[in-house]
Amino acid sequence: MPLNFQGVKLAVWGGDARTIVLLEQLVNWGASVQVVGLPVKNFKVTVLAELRETSRDIQALILPVPGVDEQKKIYAVYHDQPLILSAAELTSFPAGLLVFVGVAQPYLKEIAVQTGIELIEIMNLDETAILNSIPSAEGAIQMAMERLPITIHGSYTLVLGFGRTGVTLTRILAAMGAHVTVIARKPAQQARAFEMGVLSADFPELPALMSQADIIFNTVPALILSRSLLEKAAPEVLIIDLASTPGGTDFTAAQELGITAVLAPGLPGRVAPKTAGVILARVIRRILLERLSS
């Protein structure tokens, strides 16, 4: 992939640790960047005090992963004053301005329509989800290692769901020597699990498999690990639930049964913020290069 970012003008509004890493990469690739709301004195960027000072000839605007809340505040962990995004801030840019954001809340979507900007929700891209599955899987394994008196090697492990994160998690766990059984609904998913050298089963077979598990990783965003299933598990089982809040586990039942169950959403930004920032940079670069060259 050519790295020709020389002369590309970008703006970054708000953000967190990931945004700083992203910014560093963009600058390294040659972009000229204007920044509001980040402590980045040592970079070759132009730091602005107000959103409105941003040049109108930028080629894209980068908002933070959590985007803009319903109080119109841009997520900006390093900025003490609120950065308010009103429609007015966006109106004087050229029509079709590219605006990157992790996930857009309804308010941001609304003003995107009003102002004619083009929103790209990075976190909804299949590419981003697959790249983020790597820090998610590693973070989940780290959490398991910290809580277990046994090794991953030789452990009996269930992976519930075989989507982007489930596939990555399975590959790493199997490579580390765990005995993995994938629980997946689609025959094609079970076929892929078989090809990868692990066992697989469908959800109706899960009750019969609970009692042997040392670790259960859930990736399915639905209540899978119900009380009746948890009752079949060994009390020393460990559950790491990677599904987005509220997860796929009956945590109350788990607690009452003395089972350790941990909800672990948003792992990439927490366990590997630098890698998470590099992933954002990689995806934004690809999209920008495609757009700018076409």
Binding footprint of a second copy on the chain (CB under 8 A): 1, 17, 125-128, 130-131, 133-135, 138-139, 141-142, 145-146, 148-154, 167-168, 171-172, 175-177, 186-188, 190-192, 194-197, 201-202, 205, 271-275, 278, 283, 286
Task: Report the nearest approach of a second copy to the CB of residue 232 (Å).
Answer: 18
User: Nearer Cβ to a second copy, position 58 or 284?
Assistant: 284
Q: Tokens at residue 59, please?
A: 């080629």
Task: Report the nearest approach of a second copy to the CB of residue 216 (Å).
Answer: 18
User: Nearer Cβ to a second copy, position 152 or 281?
Assistant: 152
Q: Tokens at residue 263, please?
A: 């909800």
User: Nearer Cβ to a second copy, position 31 or 279?
Assistant: 279
d(CA 141, CA 145): 6
User: Nearer Cβ to a second copy, position 18 or 224?
Assistant: 18
d(CA 125, CA 104): 13
Residues forming a β-bridge with 182: 159, 200
Task: Report the nearest approach of a second copy to the CB of residue 269 (Å).
Answer: 10
Alpha helices (H) in the chain, listed in sequence order: 17-28, 87-91, 106-115, 126-147, 164-175, 187-195, 206-209, 227-230, 251-256, 267-271, 273-293
Task: Report the nearest approach of a second copy to the CB of residue 17 (Å).
Answer: 8
Distances (CA, A) of 1 to 59, 97, 120: 20, 24, 21
User: Nearer Cβ to a second copy, position 12 or 122?
Assistant: 122
Class of residue 127 by CB neighbours under 10 A (exposed 0-12, middle 13-18, buried 19+) = middle
Task: Report the nearest approach of a second copy to the CB of residue 14 (Å).
Answer: 20
